[in-house]
Amino acid sequence: MGPTASGKTDLAIALRQQLPVELISVDSALVYQGLDVGSAKPSEEEQRAAPHRLLDIRDPAEPYSAADFRTDALREIDDIHQSGRIPLLVGGTMLYFKALLEGLADMPAAAPEIREQIEKEAEEKGWPFIHQQLAAVDPHAAAEIHPNHSQRLSRALEVYRSSGRTMTELRAEQDRQAQDLHQRYDVAQFAIAPRDRSVLHRRIETRFEKMLEHGLLEEVKGLMQRGDLHPDLPAIRAVGYRQVWEYLTGESSQQEMIERATAATRQLAKRQLTWLRGWEGLNWVYTDTPEGQSRKKSVLVNEILNFLPEQAL
C-alpha cells in the first residue's frame, strides 16, 4: 500500500524478482479500459516483467465497486494460491484493501419511501416509539443507539424494513467474511512512502508533467469522443481525468488545469496517508533516510523480505 506516486509498482516488480509472487492491482482507476496515461497504468514493458491482474476489466461507462473488487480479488487470490504462488496486492485504493480484509456488509441502498414513512411515524408518535420498533426486531442495534438519535434509528429500521435483515445480522456477516479470510491466509501488510512529504509532492508534479508529455490530453479527448461518457461517472471523476476534462470543455485554462490536477493529487495522497496512519498491523517501508537521502530499491526489497515469515520465503 502507499500514497500515489510513492513507487509501489517499481517495488512490486522488484519483489517479483525475489519471490514467487503474482501481482493483483488494487486501484479504482486501473480497472478501466482506456484510462492508461492518467492512471499511471503499468507500461507494456512493466506488465511483461510482472503481469498485473485486475487491470482493464471494466469499460469506463460501467461502475466498479468495493464489493466488486472483493469478489474479484478473492477469486484471483485463490487462483494464485492454487498455482503454488503468492498473491501480492499492490495499490492505493484504501477502501478496496479495507473491504478485502474486513469484509463488506451487503447493506441495502437508501429507500426514500421507507425512510419517509419512518419519519412520519416519528412525527406522530415520537422517536422513542421508533426506538421501540427497532428494539422489537434488532435489540442489539437498539441497545447501541440512543432513543433520540433520529438519523441512526431511521437508517437501522429502514435497513430491516427494506431487506428483511437486521443491521446486526449484516454486520455479523461482515465479521464472518473477515474471519474467513484471516483463517485461510497469512496476511503481511506493508506501506511504502517517503518520510519527507515534499518529496512526494515533487514526484506528483513531475509525474503529471510526464503524463501530459505522453498524451494525456489526447487520451481524454478520445474518451470524450465516445459520446457515452460524462464527468459524473466514477472513471471520469478519477484524479487528473476530471481536471483535464474540464480544461477540454473550456471550464479552465491549461495552467489552471495543471494546478488543479496536481493539487487534487496531493489531496489524494494526504487522504491515503491518513488512512494508513491508523491502519493496524502495518509495516512501514520508507523510501528515504531520516537525513533525506533516497534509499536503493534493493535495500527496500531486503527490508520487506526481513519482515516476512519464513514460510513465505
Is the per-residue pLDDT at 311 higher than 60?
no
Identify whether 1 is part of a domain: no
What the block records as the C-alpha cell of 19 is 519471490
Average pLDDT over the chain, rounded to an integer = 94
Mean predicted confidence (pLDDT) in 241-263: 97
Determine the pLDDT at residue 309: 74
Q: What pLDDT was estimated at residue 271?
A: 96
Q: What pLDDT is stored for residue 32 in this prediction? A: 98
171 plus 227 within the same structural domain: no
pLDDT at 291 over 80: yes
Reported confidence tier of residue 110, pLDDT bands at 50, 70, 90: confident
User: What total of structural domains would you count in the chain?
Assistant: 2
Question: What is the average pLDDT across 269-278?
Answer: 95
Q: Is the Cα torsion angle 114, 115, 117, 122 positive or negative in sign?
A: positive
Which residue, of 127, 143, 177, is where some domain finishes? 177
Do 68 and 26 share a structural domain?
A: yes
Q: Quote the pLDDT of residue 218.
A: 98
Mean pLDDT of 288-300: 91
Tell me, yes or no, whether 182 lies in a domain. no
The pLDDT score that the predictor gives to residue 105 is 84
DSSP character at residue 294:
B
Please check whether residues 34 and 73 belong to one and the same domain. yes
Q: Do residues 87 and 128 both lie within one domain?
A: no
For residues 215 and 257, membership in a common domain is answered with yes
- Please determine, for residue 310, whether its predicted confidence score (pLDDT) is greater than 80: no
Does residue 18 lie in a domain region?
Answer: yes
Question: Does the pLDDT value for residue 75 go beyond 70?
Answer: yes
Q: Domain check: are 55 and 149 in the same one?
A: no
Q: What is the pLDDT of residue 107?
A: 82
Q: Assess if residue 294 is contained within a domain.
A: yes
Q: Are 152 and 145 in contact (CB under 8 A)?
A: yes
Model confidence at 275: pLDDT above 80: yes
In a domain, 187, yes or no: no
Q: Which of 125, 142, 177 is the last residue of a domain?
A: 177
Which helix (H) or strand (E) is 271 found in, with range?
Answer: helix 254-277
Residue 224 lies in a domain: yes
- SS3 category, 190: strand
Helices (H), 164-196: 167-184
State what percent of residues in the chain have pLDDT above 70: 99
pLDDT score of 308:
87
116/228 same-domain check: no
Regarding whether 129 and 100 lie in a shared domain, the answer is: no
Among 128, 144, 177, give the residue marking a domain's end. Answer: 177
Q: What is the pLDDT of residues 139-195, one digit of tens each?
A: 999 999 999 899 999 999 999 999 999 999 999 998 999 999 999 999 999 999 999
CATH number at residue 294: 3.40.50.300
Whether residues 125 and 168 share a domain: the answer is yes
**Tens digits of residue pLDDT in 37-63:** 999 999 999 999 999 999 999 999 999
Enclosing domain of residue 69: 8-104+194-312
Tell me, yes or no, whether 138 and 89 share the same domain.
no
Q: Does 167 fall in a domain?
A: yes
Q: Assess if residue 184 is contained within a domain.
A: no
**Beta-carbon contacts of residue 139 (< 8 Å; ≥ 6 apart):** none
Tell me the pTM. Answer: 0.87
- Please write the tens of the pLDDT for every residue from 13-33: 999 999 999 999 999 999 999
> Tell me, what CATH number does 140's domain have?
1.10.20.140
Are residues 161 and 280 located together in one domain of the fold?
no
Q: What is the mean pLDDT of residues 208-228?
A: 97
251 strand-pairing partners:
none
For residue 192, give the DSSP letter: E
Indicate if 136 and 260 belong to the same structural domain: no
pLDDT value of position 312 = 61
Mean predicted confidence (pLDDT) in 65-93: 96
pLDDT at 313 over 80: no
Residue corresponding to grid cell 493496524: 280
